[in-house]
Amino acid sequence: MIVTVTYNPAVDQTIQFDEQMAPDRVMRADSAQFDAGGKGINAAQLLTAMDCPCVATGLLGGFTGSFIRETLQEDGVETAFVDVDGTTRLNTTAIAAAEEYKLNQSGPTVGASVVDALLEQVRAQSPDRVLVGGSLPPGLSPDAIDRIAAGGDWETIVDTGGDVLRELDGQYGLCKPNRAELGDATGADVSTVEGCADAADTFRDRGFDRVLASLGADGAVLVGDAGRLYAEALDIDVVDTVGAGDALLSGVLSAWEAGADDETALRTGVAVSSQVVQRAGTAVPDLDDIETLRENVTVRQL
């Protein structure tokens, strides 16, 4: 069973305008959408949809926190969140004509004691794996992730920014950077697939058993004891790349939970990601379609 930890979740608000935005004008939106957001939360939704046992935990506060909890429960995701003072952040994307504006809040300031409360929630689930995803709120350092990794007899997976990855000092089963995060965390040249695999190797020397790197249109690499596995991206019509990395990781984890080897897990991850990017907005995976796509994924050793 997998527990996801989201230290700094968000409600993602997407607002659409038919005309360009301009200062000192009242802009009236054509449409607005609200979604529960955060890497761990996104992963929990995907894992649950793929019938992989999962519990979502993290820090929630205020009316936005209530929205996230209720949304997950409506989606059938089991939850075990810790309530904090303040209000969970609201991140806004405004799309006006051909322009896109992103306005992200930093989240409520919390103290180190929330890590102890989260560890209690995680331990209560007796997980095989714990996924810590997303950014850290004000008041917490990367040590908050290291404490989760050292807090129990589980494999810890981390999906966070390159600046945090550089500071981690624990033992981890997997990290999942994208290409930019891989370069940021290592300083390596990641312009080629081989360069990305080389950069991933350096992570293994720093306490990560495996490294899963999402490379966009170039596919993905999984570096570990099974070698340097490379999966090419499928030739599909991409509609929306939001959530592609979360889908890749969720597919890999669901396959591992089912007992798959690394090659099969990578195929599954690319298949899930490929399905998600063919749809706009939040997409619930179709298990039959994933199986069809997985058969078309090519994996080779670098």
- For 216-251, write each residue's pLDDT tens digit: 989 999 999 999 999 999 888 777 777 889 999 999
pLDDT at 278: 80
Strand partners, 103: 92
What does the pLDDT look like over 119-132, one tens digit per residue?
999 999 999 999 99
Residues in contact with 203: Cβ distance below 8 Å, sequence separation at least 6, in sequence order? 165, 175, 185, 186, 211, 223
Q: Which pLDDT band holds residue 283 (cuts at 50, 70, 90)?
A: low
Percentage with pLDDT > 70 across the chain = 98
Residue 287 has pLDDT above 90, yes or no: no
Which DSSP letter does residue 9 get? -
Going by pLDDT thresholds of 50, 70 and 90, the confidence category of residue 192 is very high
Q: How confident is the model at residue 67, as a pLDDT?
A: 98
Mean pLDDT of 89-96: 90
> What backbone torsions phi and psi does residue 203 show, to the nearest 5 degrees?
-65, -35
Higher pLDDT, 154 or 170: 154
- Pairing state between β 208-214 and 220-224: antiparallel
- Out of 96-100, 240-244, 285-289, give the one with best mean pLDDT: 96-100
pLDDT value of position 282: 57
Helical (H) or strand (E) element with 202? helix 193-204
- The per-residue pLDDT for 235 is 84
Cβ–Cβ under 8 Å, residues 267 and 294: yes
Q: Calculate the average pLDDT of the chain.
A: 92
The Cα 56–Cα 81 span in angstroms is 7
Is 246 a catalytic site residue? Answer: yes
Taking the C-alpha atoms of 107, 279, 176 and 216 in order, what is their torsion angle to the nearest 10 degrees? -120
- pLDDT of 6 strictly over 80: yes
Instruction: Give Cα separations from 20 to 98, 104, 182, 281 (angstroms).
Output: 8, 20, 35, 22
What pLDDT does residue 34 have?
A: 92
Given a cut of 90, whether residue 198 has pLDDT beyond it is: yes
User: Confidence band (pLDDT; 50, 70, 90) for 93?
Assistant: confident
Secondary structure of residue 86 in the 3-state scheme: coil
Q: Which of 246, 262, 286, 288 is catalytic?
A: 246
pLDDT digits (tens, 9 = 90+) for 48-80: 999 999 999 999 999 999 999 999 999 999 999
Q: Which pLDDT score is estimated for 19?
A: 84
267/250 Cα distance (integer angstroms): 12
With cut-offs at 50, 70 and 90, classify the pLDDT of residue 83: very high
| Statement: residue 135 has pLDDT above 80 | yes
Q: Which domains does the chain have, with CATH numbers?
A: 1-18+31-97+109-155 (3.40.1190.20), 171-302 (3.40.1190.20)
